[in-house]
Structure 1
Amino acid sequence: MQIFKLPRSIRQVSTHVLAIFLGVLLTVTSLEVLPSQAEPAPPLVPQKSSPVAAAIGNSSFVTAAVNRVGPAVVRIDTERTITRPTDPLMDDPFLRRFFGDGFPQQSPTEQLRGLGSGFIFDKSGIVLTNAHVVDQADKVTVRLKDGRTFEGKVKGIDEVTDLAVVKINAGNDLPVASLGSSQNVQVGDWAIAVGNPLGFDNTVTLGIISTLKRSSAQVGISDKRLDFIQTDAAINPGNSGGPLLNAEGEVIGINTAIRADAMGIGFAIPIDKAKAIATQLQRDGKVAHPYLGVQMVTLTPQLAQQNNIDPNSMFEIPEVRGVLVMRVVPGSPAATAGIRRGDVIVKIDDQVITSADQLQRVVEDSRLGQTFQLKVQRGNQTQILSVRTAELKDIQ
């Protein structure tokens, strides 16, 4: 075996480097830090508690929220009797004589049962729920979490916002849900849905706020006037009317709609809107909604250009940004004002209009009988039309 040796010059350099390293090491280990030289330890700063931190402990923020509101969440069972059209063949005397007792009997009525959720928001026994839960019900039964049941009386229904108020007589010992404010809700906040999905009582699901101000038109509910809170907390049939909570256990919305073609998307009515409607329903039993009487879509110059170059388009549209009138309801305020199909609304009073949702909100927030000045683009001409709102009725 041949042993290779480093040249003498390299070995000398290595020896000096090793000596310097050992000297530094010995110097460092022999140093003593004097108290006057030591840097003071940073002071301990108390940390604020948060839902996430609380969830690490023995009890989660979800548990605390549900314990706070859960007793006020109710199950609503409904019954409705409908009359079915009779079949003349079933009443034929010849067939009845021929078949005798074996001939089937017609049942002119049928019992339909429904299920939903709600929550108590007033000690006097006022329950808030969805309109579609109790609409046309002949009997309403409200069941509390503690097992007590009461007959409910529907005090008011507003189909436009899908809200209803039900009254139960249960004394003054009722649990009441704590109401928050939907104005403080932000995308990414925790969302807790409580209700009776598919008949499974007292079910809790957790998610986040996915987005805010999702219009009913975007959701596919064109007959409603709402800007929903969108959440990915699981909402199923039976959850309707139940509360959507924040991390503090305050009601921020009312679960109301799901899309059959979507996974993990649910919608809730903002609680600020619900409180305003509930007050009117308790007082008057209904809510008067102002309307103009047009069916409309948002228009952009690009969409107008696509329409105008299409040889099959029914009419030419002004290439501007605004709201395109697709239909005018006969006898409506819009018809009286002279608004026509194909008009583009670009201003209401002094406010520039860029979307159908924006125009709808302006009208919804107005009062009955209020007069608006609409700036309308009709072909190459601009017109100012005066329209006075009226109460929304059934639109065909």
Structure 2
Amino acid sequence: MTAPTPLSSLSSALADVVARTAPAVVSVHSHRSRATGFVWKDGLIVTADEALADEGEVEIGLPDGSRAAATIAGRDHTTDIALLRAEIATAPLKLTATVPPLGALAIVVATSRETPSAALGMVSASGSGWRSLRGGEIDARIELDVRLRESQQGGVALDASGEAFGMAVLGPRRVLVIPTATIERVAAQLEVRGRIARGYLGLGLQPVRLDDGVGAMVMNVDKAGPSAAAGIRQGDVIVAVNDQKLSGVRALSRTLGPSSVGAVVDVAARRGGEPVSFKVTVGERPEA
């Protein structure tokens, strides 16, 4: 009998890691879109929001070839996390909060053409938390040097020991991993509320250039919103929030995350060229 080589031992170990994870990985069918998901809790599947259609029925494809109807329990565009409900008996996948180091091997277990798939790569970036272009708070920046198809979005990212550390998604130019900490935080809120609370000022803003920096002109005010209650009017120009000079409208919007709801902020503005100030209690953004 031929003795195992280091390469054959590695190959067997990787195959074993994939085999242990694959039973909790499912395909997600929505309208004309195909993606991957994994069982997060009993009857609850996490998948990539970007790959989930905005309308039509949703089905889950199980590893044994069967299918089950699913409903959308909630979705968060800013973190690319969606939560589905389905009556399935598949055991949940255990996630680890450990963030893999730069250069570590990573395996993505997903589905392709409704069958299990796997891809091997390397952690090409591993760093601190960041904000997505849509303003979502991602707890760690993890990038993978691996190629994935559209249908593999929502697959599980594993380290070399088989620990699942997040969900693989397609970024603008690279494969990103939404880490466990973000999944646990967002999915838990989606399970209970079906949505993620976002801060709301009740203002329509337009960036303007000022002699001493950047401002945001109030173009419209929600009469039932928190800014109207504080006395802010159309035509006011906001120049600072909590004594921090405004760097732009987008930067202001990004401060209105879930933790901002209920906070009182000091808003400095100009009205007819004269300074005015307001205390605004951040509300919760109404559902679209």
TM-score per shorter chain, which class? Answer: 0.7 to 0.9
Whether 1:276 and 2:173 are equivalent positions in the alignment is: no
Tell whether the 8 Å contact from 2:95 to 2:165 is kept in structure 1 after alignment. Answer: yes
Tell whether the 8 Å contact from 2:206 to 2:217 is kept in structure 1 after alignment. Answer: yes
Equivalent residue of 1:138, what SS?
coil
Aligned equivalent of 1:344? 239
Once the two structures are superposed, residues 255-294 of structure 1 have per-residue CA deviations (whole angstroms, 9 ceiling, x without a partner) of 33332xx3xx122323212212212222222332223356
More strand per residue = 2
Aligned equivalent of 1:390? 283
Larger Rg: 1
Change (3 A) 1:318 1:248: farther
Tell whether the 8 Å contact from 1:118 to 1:241 is kept in structure 2 after alignment. Answer: yes
Measure, in 2, the Cα distance between the counterparts of 1:352 and 1:342.
12
Change (3 A) 1:55 1:137: farther
How does 1:61-210 map onto structure 2 within 5 Å?
62-79=14-31, 113-122=32-41, 124-171=42-89, 174-181=90-97, 184-196=99-111, 201-210=116-125
Tell whether the 8 Å contact from 1:318 to 1:344 is kept in structure 2 after alignment. Answer: no
Measure, in 1, the Cα distance between the counterparts of 2:7 and 2:144.
23
Query: Which one has more relative contact order, counting CA pairs under 8 Å at least 6 apart?
Result: 2
- Using the TM superposition, give the Cα deviation of residue 167 of structure 1 relative to its aligned residue in structure 2, in angstroms: 2.0
- TM-score, normalized by length of structure 2? 0.74
Tell whether the 8 Å contact from 1:318 to 1:377 is kept in structure 2 after alignment. Answer: no
Q: What amino acid sits opposite 1:146 in the alignment?
A: D
Measure, in 2, the Cα distance between the counterparts of 1:67 and 1:378.
65
- Using the TM superposition, give the Cα deviation of residue 393 of structure 1 relative to its aligned residue in structure 2, in angstroms: 3.8
Once the two structures are superposed, residues 193-244 of structure 1 have per-residue CA deviations (whole angstroms, 9 ceiling, x without a partner) of 2223576742324221425434322xxxx4x524354333323311222222
Equivalent residue of 2:9, what SS?
coil
Tell whether the 8 Å contact from 2:197 to 2:258 is kept in structure 1 after alignment. Answer: no
Change (3 A) 1:191 1:214: farther
Of all paired residues, the percent bearing the same amino acid is 22
Measure, in 2, the Cα distance between the counterparts of 1:343 and 1:276.
32
- Using the TM superposition, give the Cα deviation of residue 120 of structure 1 relative to its aligned residue in structure 2, in angstroms: 0.6
Give the unaligned 5+ runs of structure 2: none
Change (3 A) 1:189 1:361: farther
Of 190-199 and 244-253, deviating more is 190-199
- Using the TM superposition, give the Cα deviation of residue 355 of structure 1 relative to its aligned residue in structure 2, in angstroms: 8.7
1:370 aligned to 231, 238, 263, which one? 263
Tell whether the 8 Å contact from 1:198 to 1:237 is kept in structure 2 after alignment. Answer: no
Q: What amino acid sits opposite 1:276 in the alignment?
A: R
Q: Alignment length, in residue pairs? A: 275
Note the aligned Cα RMSD (angstroms). 3.9
Equivalent residue of 1:191, what SS?
strand
Change (3 A) 1:204 1:392: same
Aligned equivalent of 1:225? 136
More helix per residue = 1
Once the two structures are superposed, residues 131-190 of structure 1 have per-residue CA deviations (whole angstroms, 9 ceiling, x without a partner) of 34444443222122233322223222333433222222233xx232221116x4444444
Measure, in 2, the Cα distance between the counterparts of 1:373 and 1:193.
46
- TM-score, normalized by length of structure 1? 0.56
1:247 aligned to 160, 163, 179, which one? 160
How does 1:268-347 map onto structure 2 within 5 Å?
268-292=177-201, 293=203, 315-319=209-213, 325=216, 330-331=221-222, 333-334=226-227, 337=230, 338=232, 343-345=238-240
